[in-house]
Amino acid sequence: MKSWIIKITFLLCLVVFIPATASAGDKIKFGVPPWPGVTVKSNVVVQLLSAMGYESEMLEVGPPIIYKSMTLNDMDVFLAGWTPQQNPMLDPLVKEGKAIKVRTNLSDALIGVCVSKAAWDGGVKSVADLNKHSEKFNKTIYDIEPGSGMHTAMTKMIDNNVGQLGNWEHVGTTTPVMLAEAANRIKQDKWVVFGCWKPHWMTVQMDIKFLNAIPGTEDLISASDVYTVTRAGFAEQYPEVQKLLENFVISSKTQSAWINDHGYKNQDAADVASNWIAQNLPEVKKWLKNVRTTSGEDAFEAVKAKYNK
């Protein structure tokens, strides 16, 4: 009896001290705001992981919830860490070691404020020109959802009366609603001002112009780097997935094409992702260099077998 107790105790110690590792049954959780670009981008990575033997799930929530969930180990990966717009949310977590900036997956992005071409031709070239034509715009700036880095930066700009915009209305909605309103006003030859960015189909499908910055707009109008962000401890638990994330980088041209297909043409995001993977295996191969599947096989070979038909 004593020998059995010793054996059981030894086995329990092994359970306690063996480090956590990934298994095919673990679901990797991706935070995915309702933005077309990150939706397709996340689908691309999730489909690659599926071919590698991993299960994933995509949760449609905004950045504040994503970052908070990472601190609770309830969220694993976020592919849309737009900086500097999200720095107030992201930087403290990175400093505390609760979130990791893996790498920039897109480095030629731009966030700003756009106006219709009619407004541009009418003399609105910078944020300083908006209030001069306030009635034309109904003193309204359209924007994406409250809580996003972009919305927060725009709110700060208005609260600080930058460009004499302190008494303007700031309307925050989802991206599709904001763009539908902007497109509708443009169609009616009305002036409109709204939060904008690239890569996005809006720069292709809509006749718009990015306004020049003025002092006080730095948090909003800026070139942006988009980071892949993971929770603390993710790399240790998923070393092969970490290799993929460290290699994963795209161009604004690629993401604009994804956004145009999904966000503008209304093609299913999963279909856009799978079609792109099948047509761009040489690019995928770069991402999967030295990456193994859950069963130890070459990850690219697994992906190629699934998509090279």
Q: pLDDT (tens digit, 9 = 90+) per residue, 194-221?
A: 999 888 899 888 999 999 999 999 989 9
Both structure tokens of 67: 């970052």
Both structure tokens of 155: 């709110």
Report the run of H or E that residue 9 belongs to, with start and end: helix 2-17
CA distance 301 to 309: 13
Residues paired with 59 in a beta bridge: 31
Q: Which residues contact 300 (CB under 8 A, 6 or more apart)?
A: 284, 285, 288, 289, 291
DSSP label at residue 168: S
CA distance 110 to 107: 9
Both structure tokens of 49: 């992981």
Q: pLDDT (tens digit, 9 = 90+) per residue, 153-164?
A: 999 999 999 999
Both structure tokens of 163: 């460009």
Average pLDDT on 104-122 reads 94
Same fold, 24-108+224-307 and 110-223: yes
CA distance 85 to 143: 14
As a residue count, the chain comes to 309
Q: Which CATH class is domain 24-108+224-307?
A: alpha beta
C-alpha to C-alpha distances, 74 to 27, 29, 71, 232, nearest whole angstrom: 11, 8, 8, 11
Residue boundaries of the structural domains of the chain:
24-108+224-307, 110-223
Asked if the model's pLDDT at residue 291 lies above 70, the reply is yes
Q: pLDDT (tens digit, 9 = 90+) per residue, 127-150?
A: 999 999 999 999 999 999 998 889
CB 54 within 8 A of CB 243: no
- Residue 194: predicted pLDDT: 98
Topology adopted by domain 110-223: D-Maltodextrin-Binding Protein; domain 2 (3.40.190)
Asked if the model's pLDDT at residue 1 lies above 70, the reply is no
C-alpha to C-alpha distances, 231 to 25, 101, 220, nearest whole angstrom: 19, 9, 26
Q: What is the bridge-based pairing of β-strands 27-31 and 77-83?
A: parallel
- Residue 203: predicted pLDDT: 85
Both structure tokens of 40: 């397709």
